[in-house]
Amino acid sequence: MDYLEHHIVDHCNLKCAGCSHFSCLAEPWFEDIQDFTRDFDVLAQKTNQNVGCVRLMGGEPLLHPNYKEFLIITRQLFPYSNIQIVTNGILLPKYHDELVSICNNNNIQICVSNYGLNINLNELLKDFKYKRIDGKNHLYNISLNLQGCFDVIDSFNNCDLHVNHWYYFQYGRFYPCCIAANLHYFEQYFNIEMCDWDLEEVSISIHNNSILEIEQFLNKPIPLCKFCNTRLRLHTYKPFFVTKGDIKEWICL
């Protein structure tokens, strides 16, 4: 398996309009370290510790009071993987020294999403062994259609999340994308029900399936695909701005 994303928190201290993880709509949630260890231990066993890249993120992962434990455990379970912690940088001044220590001692890359905030990222990152700054002045236009009028196969085949194999691992289950795993926050916030979701239709358990079965599941469309205008998303991006809580930030008209 080449890549997976995992939230240790769902909420965020930066409220991006149209967030593809719906973190600006999420209630505070913190990953339990025991649940995390159990699920990632099974993943390590079934992949023979062979996962190319593990990205711990959110939401804003530095909001988790025990974020350091997650980094240490991930490195212990995946000694050969590229492990990354993905942050918006707001809390870097507060945790700078301990982050430098934990990342450098465990060969973990810190990836900062640069939203153009008044933060000197180059200065804050100069002591990190492995670092990356990703420009985020434009964000995904995830382009949901509430009527679900798109062909699932066409949407799936044109989905950049699928093409790049940006799989999402949460609650001991693999989802083909972050949208499928977190759409419930969108539905709850706007008090709508897009579909009567069956968990088995949109995700697959690491505990009850082989890696081959998981990869086969992840490489086929799910019911959610009919709500995603992936052709539009490939060619349009929205400038970063703080959400106004308007549903139009997530839907195509």
Mean pLDDT of 109-130: 92
* Predicted pLDDT at 253: 66
| The amino acid at 57 | M
| Phi, psi dihedrals of residue 123, rounded to the nearest 5° | -70, -45
* Predicted pLDDT at 139: 73
Question: In this predicted model, what pLDDT tens digit does every residue of 57-110 receive, in sequence order?
Answer: 999 999 999 999 999 999 999 999 999 999 999 999 999 999 999 999 999 999
Q: Which residue has the higher pLDDT, 160 or 7?
A: 7
* Predicted pLDDT at 3: 95
The residue among 45, 47, 77, 46 whose CA lies nearest residue 56 is: 77
Express as a percent the part of the chain with pLDDT over 70: 98
* Predicted pLDDT at 231: 84
Model confidence at 236: pLDDT above 80:
no
Containing structural domain, residue 212: 3-249
- How many domains is the chain built from? 1
Least confident span in 12-16, 113-117, 146-150? 113-117
At 24, which CATH number?
Answer: 3.20.20
Least confident span in 80-94, 217-231, 234-248? 234-248
Mean pLDDT of 24-53: 97
